[in-house]
Amino acid sequence: MANPANTMISAMIDQALKDHGAGRQEQAMAGFQTVLQHDSGNVVALYMLGAMHTEREQYQAALQYLNHAIAVNGQFAQSYQARSVIYSKLGHYKSAFHDTQTALRLDPHLDEARKNYETLQLLAENTAPSKTSVTLPVKATPLSLVDLIEQTNRASTLPQMEQTIRHFQDFLMNGEASQAHLALFSIGVLHHKLNRNHDAEAYFRHALLVKPDFFACHLNLGLLLERNNRSEQAVAQWEQALQLPAINLPEHGDDKLKITTNLGRLLEVLNEYERAENALREALRLDPDNGPVLHHWIHLRQKQCRWPITEGLDRPDRDVLANASPIAMLGLSDDPAAQLSAGRHFVETKVESHPRMVPFRHDYGHQKLRIGYLSSNLSMHAVSLLTVELYETHDRNLFETHAFCWSPEDGTPFRQRVKSAFDHVHLVGGLTDEQTAELIRSKEIDIVVDLQGLTSGARPNIVARGPAPVQVAYLGYPGPSALPYVDYIVADSFIMSPELCLHFTEKPLYLPSLFQVSDRKRQISAVPPRSQFGFDEGDFIFCAFNNNHKFTPELFGSWMRILRATPHSVLWLLEDNPWSKANLLAAAAAHGIAKQRLRFAGRITPADYLARFAVADLFLDTMPYNAGTTANDALWAGLPLLTLSGHTYVSRMAGSLLKSIGLEELITFDAETYEKTAIRLAENPNEIKILRDRIHTAKEQGKLFNTDTFTREFEAALLAVLKGSV
């Protein structure tokens, strides 16, 4: 028979639990106290009273109940986890982490312990050894959190920020416990400003332990993780925040929009395009007119070849495209005014305004002029694949070269070659924009060459401080940037006509021969047989190995008409991502072109990539965003290239290359001529052979991309700028 006393205690516990679940906290506490009168060692009652006193911030009483529960039954995991919560709130992270470890050992599936494990481990490792006994904060006169936050905003020097951190720590001991999360967050922000990323992360995570639905902290923690190359963890942080029920409350609408926008943006960087688009679609549902969201949406759709770009948005196309990023606009419009407008919009919203640090054309009086190249792409990247020999061939009697670099250490021999090509390499990835600009100024750099512009990974707020007497835009961003204090852009007479200059804030720095440098040391593998790629000997192979975001529905329509007129031909494309491949195949089917006539090539080593060009018969260029490095590669490998030149700098890049070697007949200026020329060449293989021979001859004679010639012309132009004659 059941023990009547046990039955009675079970009934009392059940009732107290029901009262607790229904929000009747006073009745619940009274019920659990009654249980203890009958059974002083009842673990459930001790645990629940400990947890409920914790909710009321009555930590001393809570600890007494939980310590008793653990003494009675050391196998009840929840008691350790509840005590861990108290220890973490009091800043005793080593004790908290120890209890969480114990709780997980007893119950590996305890959700709260699993969720907090890594955070507590980080906090425990980042604090001094725990005291032998837990002491509780002594309440004193509360400090003004508002005053402290204002002090945080004013703090700009190291001593000021250190003092503010100490004031916040005093607040944590003496202020209102309900505001502790704000103080912890503010300390994290200050540590982040001081580049103490480990400390910043610890305080952000502590703030989230105190208040799990502190969404501003979720956002900032994710941004911190992203900046420290922990992007997957940043994504997880933001996705976790979006799962919290409170995110859907009206007062958190702005938080949800910011987190969702950043999630979509970072997923795009990680090439998770479908997930990125889903996140950005949700952001546009929250705010259909949000410019930054549209900014990312447009380029993401370009990368996937999802046409039309504006599909599904209940807004006029013109309004949507007004929010396009500068890099997206290069592929959307052949109107130079639209490209300048995109650059100006970016600068107005993203770039800080500062007085110029060094006056224009200031003369440092150096015997050797100091050139500083600024880039995140001094590694295995298209920009460096073209420029590396330029760095190597600079005249060291006249110039001293510096790299200001935040490029990835990709471990390749090519990265080492790039670094070795400079006299001095300054790794500025850990410096702020202000610190990097000050470093450039302190090194008395005469000319900054910005290889980045407004492309991915750019840090425009470096050049926008004007840390050098002359600043030149080159190669990375082939359009008008509108960046403050960028004085010139490298050009030639074909790529930049006098009327185009009206749509640039930079003055043209004209070179006599060609705007683009090249690397003659590139290795090309042996040309593989066509059969290796699944082609028949009778196929005429058009190729377009440009990045897929350069494709437009209008251009693709031209390609489909060319294929329809040449039944024996195929179109060989770069497989950028699975979404663009699927969309391109669907678009071809809509034009009546069988999917077998579109072939896709993956990414391979540079030498094999160059050899692949020689397998094709004719390169079809993109418009309005021409091939740049890819056009150079095609011609270097001996492949004829057909281009369509327009009204913008970026739409005339390939034409400039062709003009430099006397192949003007491959430059067209309208879609009809472009299509007719491609069809004629496909029907006349002997003409293709003649074109190949002419490219080969130009290469043999040193007329195809002569780096020595380019370097001397480039250096002469820079010297002329500093002398004031340009």
CB atoms within 10 A of CB 402: 20
What are 342's two structure tokens? 């995109």
What are the DSSP calls for 576-643, one per residue? --HHHHHHHHHHHHHTT--GGGEEEE----HHHHHHHHTT-SEEE--SSS--SHHHHHHHHTT--EEE
CB atoms within 10 A of CB 622: 26
What are 114's two structure tokens? 């699993």
User: Which CATH number applies to 4-125?
Assistant: 1.25.40.10
Per domain, the residue ranges of the chain are 4-125, 145-350, 369-510, 530-705
Q: Report the alpha-carbon angle 614-620-626, nearest 5.
A: 110
pTM of the model: 0.77
What one-character DSSP code corresponds to residue 670? S
End-to-end CA distance of the chain: 105
CA-CA distance, 400 to 368, in Å (whole number)? 6
CA 540 to chain CA centroid, nearest Å = 39
CA 145 to chain CA centroid, nearest Å = 34
Alpha helices by DSSP H, 443-484: 460-463
User: Which CATH number applies to 530-705?
Assistant: 3.40.50.2000
Which of 462, 455, 456 has the alpha carbon at shortest distance from 433?
462
CA 311 to chain CA centroid, nearest Å = 25
Which of 255, 195, 189, 181 has the alpha carbon at shortest distance from 227?
195
Instruction: Report the helix count and the strand count for the chain, using DSSP H and E.
Output: 31, 13
Q: Which residues of 245-268 are buried (b: 16+ CB within 10 A; e: fewer)?
A: eebeeeebeebbbbbbbbbbbbbb
**Quick one: CATH architecture of 369-510?**
3-Layer(aba) Sandwich (3.40)
Is 530-705 in the same CATH topology as 145-350? Answer: no
- Write out pLDDT tens, residues 327-369: 999 999 999 999 999 999 999 999 999 999 999 999 999 999 9
| Long-range interactions of 610-613: CB distance < 8 A, separation 24+ | 610/522, 610/523, 610/524, 610/525, 610/636, 610/637, 611/524, 611/525, 611/526, 611/527, 611/528, 611/637, 612/528, 612/533, 612/545, 613/543, 613/545, 613/637, 613/638, 613/639
Alpha helices by DSSP H, 661-703: 671-682, 685-700
pLDDT score of 506: 97
Half-sphere exposure at residue 250, Cβ-oriented, CA atoms within 13 angstroms? 0
pLDDT score of 4: 64
Bridge partner list, 375: 405
Which residues of the chain are modeled with pLDDT < 50?
Answer: 1, 129-142
pLDDT score of 17: 85
Half-sphere exposure at residue 198, Cβ-oriented, CA atoms within 13 angstroms? 7
| Sign (positive or negative) of CA dihedral 681, 683, 684, 685 | positive
Which homologous superfamily is 145-350 in?
Tetratricopeptide repeat domain (1.25.40.10)
Report the SS3 class of residue 296.
helix
Report the SS3 class of residue 5.
helix
What are 518's two structure tokens? 């090249």
